[in-house]
């Protein structure tokens, strides 16, 4: 039995799937414990947290679609009848965006343009050579007279996209309202009224407004991307919109897989240093102080260059360009994780020093409970909030770190799409006349939205999980009022 595709599991794919499974397991475990659900209910009640989570969900969806890889089947060998597969490794996002991937022009073209960005020598109707802007092969190819038809055609595409966005938004609104009404055992109309008045605990009104704005922007881009290059093309004629979508997975992998590498070092060494103290504490402090004293960029650059030498001298290890680029991405995540665990380790050491002096830990020691069991049962659960806050806050920093490292040439493989490689390629084209600005603008806007939504979500998580912030927010606020020349205090 032959199959049209062959599933391919890359190293980063396996780690991403493991992270998704861990998150689902944590959600299942959290739903069984009320004290774990309470902080996340605070996150769900935060308007900024839910709005940013809505935007992040769109990025995560694109990243997950780009994580399911496969190889296409080729015609079987005529002599052996053996099934063969193409060497190119594609993803589910490549299959969905097949028109964007296959429609490649010769060189630069501006967004929504029907002509190339630079003049070329062409033959006129009478055979004489002339300099003019050639028509694109795919962008605006359906237009007979682009000068007169392009703007009306774009307007029709925008209206079609807005109509599709409205239908999808109404469908999503009906589903969310129905689910909320069913969970609360209330009527649909009554729940809908409370939702739009903002009377529900979860700010679903803000979520739906954000979803509507996203759909109004995304759906016209999807509709028009079948007719034009909505973000233009790069030097080799690739669609910039497609390159930007492919760059999302790289940023998400850098921000999440690095966490998987960092956590074992930070958790184990931080809790051991704070609880065991003595020579163990001294050795761990010496280790992370020494590691912190080494410039991070130089250490990463040296490690990446050594890995590049290994890849160049052992090409038989990788059967495709995609596996080679994925291995370099995995190695970059490992190096970033090894160099970024020291900050969290310091925080966990300080928290463990405080927790080991509390009564319940001393009672466990008095009953003869071993140190490893105390660290696992009493110290670790009480530092989870610090771990989650640090992970979420550090995600955006790791995304920016990838862009900087790829910009200086020690980041991901040049064959892999990322925001850093897009910015690095656009840097050389900013001095052209006329200027090529759209590659840099697309990478900047998408990276800005990803980092901003991650930071806002991190703030909501910190406010919900950090005991000091929660206590400060729960403290009553008093306002001073002047009444008949006297001062009186009233709670807000």
The confidence band for 244, taking pLDDT boundaries of 50, 70 and 90, is: very high
Report the C-alpha gap between 391 and 257 in whole angstroms: 11
Give the per-residue pLDDT at 216: 95
pLDDT tens figures, 223-236: 999 899 999 998 88
Q: Where do the domains of the chain lie?
A: 112-229, 249-439
Let me know the angle formed at the C-alpha of 137 by 134 and 138, rounded to the nearest 5 degrees. Answer: 130
> Which residue in 215, 224, 209 sits closest to 162, CA to CA?
215
Query: Tell me, what's the pLDDT at 491?
Result: 39
Instruction: Report H helices in 356-383.
Output: 359-366, 371-374
pLDDT at 478: 40
**CB-neighbour burial class of residue 21 (10 A; exposed 0-12, middle 13-18, buried 19+):** exposed
Q: pLDDT category, 283, cuts 50, 70, 90?
A: very high
Band of pLDDT at residue 324, cut at 50, 70 and 90? confident
Q: Whole-angstrom Cα distance, residue 54 to residue 205?
A: 12
The CATH number of 249-439 is: 1.10.3720
**Cβ atoms 398, 253 nearer than 8 A:** no
Q: How do the residues of the chain divide into helix, strand and coil, expressed in percent and rounded to 5?
A: 65, 10, 25
Whether 218 and 66 have beta carbons less than 8 Å apart is answered as: no
Average pLDDT over residues 109-132: 81
Dump pLDDT digits (tens) for 51-82.
999 999 999 999 999 999 998 887 776 666 67
Q: From 96, 51, 411, select the one nearest 241 (Cα to Cα).
A: 96
> Chain-wide mean pLDDT for the chain?
85
Question: Is pLDDT above 70 for 166?
Answer: yes
Token readout for 58 is 């769109």
Q: Which two tokens stand for residue 39?
A: 């902080």
Per-residue pLDDT band for 241 (boundaries 50, 70, 90) equals very high
389, pLDDT greater than 90:
no
Per-residue pLDDT averaged across 148-153, rounded?
Answer: 90
What whole-number distance in Å separates Cα of residue 404 and Cα of residue 414?
Answer: 14
Q: Is 121 helix (H, G, I), strand (E, B) or coil?
A: strand
Average pLDDT over residues 1-16: 82
Q: Are 115 and 134 in contact (CB under 8 A)?
A: yes
Residues sharing a CB contact under 8 Å with residue 228, sequence separation 6 or more, in sequence order: 111, 112, 113, 114, 139, 140, 154
486-491 vs 478-483, strand pairing mode: antiparallel
Full-model pTM: 0.85
The answer to whether the CB of 53 falls within 8 A of the CB of 203 is no
What pLDDT was estimated at residue 2? Answer: 58
In percent, how much of the chain has pLDDT > 90? 27
Residues 321-338 have a mean pLDDT of 87
Q: Which pLDDT score is estimated for 64?
A: 94
- Measured distance CA(99)–CA(103) in Å, rounded: 6
Q: Place 302 in a pLDDT band, splitting at 50, 70 and 90.
A: confident
Kindly report each contact of residues 419-428 with a partner whose C-beta sits within 8 Å and lies 24 or more positions away, as own/partner.
419/247, 419/250, 419/251, 419/443, 419/446, 419/447, 421/247, 422/240, 422/243, 422/244, 422/247, 425/234, 425/235
Dist. CA 30–CA 36, nearest whole Å: 5
């Amino acid at each position: 039995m032959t199959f049209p595709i062959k599933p391919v599991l890359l190293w980063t794919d396996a780690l991403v799937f493991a992270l998704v499974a861990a998150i689902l397991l944590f959600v299942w475990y959290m739903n069984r414990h009320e004290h774990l659900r309470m902080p996340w209910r605070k996150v769900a009640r935060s308007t900024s947290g839910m709005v940013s989570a809505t935007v992040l969900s769109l990025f995560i969806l694109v990243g997950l679609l780009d994580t399911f890889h496969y190889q296409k089947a080729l015609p079987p060998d005529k002599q052996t009848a053996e099934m063969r597969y193409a060497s190119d490794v594609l993803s589910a996002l490549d299959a969905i965006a097949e028109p964007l991937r296959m429609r490649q022009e010769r060189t630069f073209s501006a967004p929504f343009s029907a002509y190339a960005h630079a003049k070329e020598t062409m033959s006129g109707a009478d055979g004489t050579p002339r300099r003019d802007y050639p028509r694109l092969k795919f962008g605006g190819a359906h237009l007979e007279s682009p000068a007169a038809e392009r703007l009306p055609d774009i307007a029709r595409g925008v209206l079609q996209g807005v109509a599709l966005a409205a239908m999808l938004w109404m469908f999503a609104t009906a589903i969310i309202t129905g689910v909320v009404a069913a969970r609360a055992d209330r009527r649909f109309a009554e729940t809908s009224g409370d939702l739009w008045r903002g009377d529900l605990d979860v700010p679903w009104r803000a979520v739906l407004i954000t979803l509507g704005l996203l759909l109004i922007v995304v759906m016209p881009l999807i509709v028009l991307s079948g007719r034009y290059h909505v973000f233009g093309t790069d030097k080799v004629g690739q669609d910039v919109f497609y390159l930007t979508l492919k760059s999302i997975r790289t940023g998400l992998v850098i921000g999440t897989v690095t966490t998987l590498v960092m956590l074992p070092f930070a958790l184990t060494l931080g809790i051991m240093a704070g609880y065991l103290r003595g020579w163990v504490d001294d050795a761990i402090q010496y280790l992370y102080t020494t590691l912190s004293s080494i410039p991070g960029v130089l250490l990463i650059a040296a490690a990446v260059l050594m890995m590049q030498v290994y890849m160049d001298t052992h090409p038989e290890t990788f059967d495709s360009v995609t596996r080679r680029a994925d291995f370099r991405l995995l190695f970059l995540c490992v190096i970033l994780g090894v160099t970024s665990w020291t900050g969290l380790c310091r925080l966990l050491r300080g928290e463990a020093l405080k927790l080991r002096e509390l009564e319940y830990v001393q009672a466990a020691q008095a009953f003869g409970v071993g140190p490893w069991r105390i660290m696992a049962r009493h110290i670790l659960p009480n530092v989870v909030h610090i771990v989650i806050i640090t992970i979420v806050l550090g995600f955006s920093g790791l995304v920016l770190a990838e862009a900087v490292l790829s910009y200086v040439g020690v980041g991901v493989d040049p064959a892999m799409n990322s925001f850093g490689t897009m910015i690095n390629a656009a840097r050389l084209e900013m001095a052209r006349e006329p200027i090529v600005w759209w590659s840099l603008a697309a990478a900047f806007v998408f990276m800005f939205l990803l980092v901003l939504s991650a930071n806002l979500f991190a703030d909501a998580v910190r406010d919900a999980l950090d005991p000091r912030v929660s206590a400060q927010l729960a403290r009553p606020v008093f306002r001073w009022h002047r009444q008949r020349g006297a001062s009186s205090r009233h709670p807000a």
